[in-house]
Amino acid sequence: MWHGKGKTAIVGIGYSELVRQSTRPLGLLALDACREAIADAGLSPQQIDGLATYPEAPFLGAGTRDGVDIVSVAWIINHLALASDVRWYAQIETGMIAAPVIEGAHALMAGACDYVLIWRALHQPRNYGAFSGARAAGDAQFLAPWGCVGVIQSHAMAWRRYMHDYGATREHLGTFVVNSRRNANLNPRAFFYTKPMTRDDYFAARMIAEPFCLFDCDVPVEGCVALVMTRAERARDLRRPPAYIAGHGQNTVSRRSLLFYTLDDYVANGQSLANKLWSSAGLGPADMDAAQLYDGFSPSTLYWLEAAGFCKRGEAYAFVQDGRIALEGEIPVNTFGGSLSEGRLHGMGHIAEAVFQVTGRAERRQVPDAAAVCAIDGSPMMRGSGIVVTRDP
């Protein structure tokens, strides 16, 4: 078990507005979220002496303008009046936003800093995800000339294979998507807060990359979510109940180079993260009161249910039927609506909701007596990270 279990905690959360296109540059949305997280923790910006982020804009053709396309550590230091001498920072290149949270815990335990601010800022330009390169180099030379280059196509093809191998249908997946929307309708921050979705709505949605329709893809939003972390002793004196970090795991498996991910990849890679997550926390899927599992595309959550051991391989499509994963069900999943319905916050919404659940702040989505919740970021095939947060250290 991790010697750091329960020694650090998330003590504040802040959200900017989540919209399709903001009239304000991303940097200002980040300042909104960061200031709110710091105030939520009962701190002032001058007390923040540690910073971390995962800045990458996760789509083809993304720009790199600081304060517009991304928000770097340097940008926050320059625009938010933090501690006059920031002592620690980390700008993580891979592993999703849970990776800086893990690094922040290590830094706090090492005494490198006292209060860590972490944010995930997402920009949405008008047109994105388009491959317009006239020349396709590297692995793309074996994909782009055939028009097969997007992440969505890779995921759609993996799910098609899953359907074939296990007998899953669009109906099964639709149950999960509709459940996520139902939860989002109880989440005032969600993009689709005021928009219910029926099964008919799901099947009427336009196809994007068959068998994926529009609602199988996370809803792109512009915005920022931030959190503050500190050591457990300090956490107890602050404004909100702490969400203790009980364990962490990252996908570190090496995989052979294929043109795209296979279902074998999602199991092996997902287990690389999940095995470490559970052993570090000394907990398992049966101990979770809720699970926030990444849903960049709808099947990703099903793959996580299998890879993380909530059900057996090939069974997730049946597992999510009959209300088992609903708010009042046996294991509530993505209680905030997920990236699918809250907004594509690239895993930060999953961490925030895990914190809200174990600190009794989940409002109408509150799972009664929630004491342990996991938040796993990233599709199982790819480099990702996860944490378990608990009500008690």
Partner 1 sequence: MAAAMKSEKPVPVADQLSQPLWDAAKERRLVVQRCAECGYYNHPPRPACDRCSSQRLEFAPVSGRGTIYTFTVMHQPSVAGFEGEVPYINIVVELEEQAMLFMVSNLPHAELDQIRIGGRVEVWFEERGPGLVLAQFRPV
Residues of the shown chain interacting with partner 1 in the complex, contacts defined by CB under 8 A: 60, 129-150, 152-153, 156-158, 160-161, 164, 206-211, 256-260, 262, 264
168 contact partners, CB below 8 Å, separation of at least 6: 162, 317
CB of 204 to partner 1, least distance (A): 15
CB of 299 to partner 1, least distance (A): 13
Side-chain half-sphere CA neighbours of 97 within 13 A: 27
Closest CA to 262 of 164, 139, 385: 164
Closest CA to 354 of 231, 233, 185, 227: 227
Is residue 121 within 8 Å of residue 224, measured between CB atoms? Answer: yes
Nearer to partner 1, 57 or 190 (CB): 57
CB of 141 to partner 1, least distance (A): 4
SS3 318: helix
CB of 126 to partner 1, least distance (A): 12
CB of 366 to partner 1, least distance (A): 38
Is residue 10 within 8 Å of residue 389, measured between CB atoms? Answer: yes
Nearer to partner 1, 154 or 187 (CB): 154
Nearer to partner 1, 3 or 164 (CB): 164
Distance CA(382)–CA(298), nearest Å, equals 15
> Side by side, which strands form the sheet with 223-231?
88-91, 50-53, 115-122, 223-231, 8-15, 243-250, 385-390, 372-377, 290-293
Phi, psi for residue 349 in degrees, rounded to 5? -65, -35
Nearer to partner 1, 29 or 263 (CB): 263
Nearer to partner 1, 213 or 348 (CB): 213
Phi, psi for residue 187 in degrees, rounded to 5? -115, 105
CB of 144 to partner 1, least distance (A): 4
Structure tokens at 280: 């570090």
Nearer to partner 1, 139 or 200 (CB): 139
Residue whose pair of structure tokens reads 């997946």 in the numeric block: 173
Nearer to partner 1, 94 or 262 (CB): 262
CB of 381 to partner 1, least distance (A): 14
- How many CB atoms are located within 10 Å of the residue 318 CB? 17
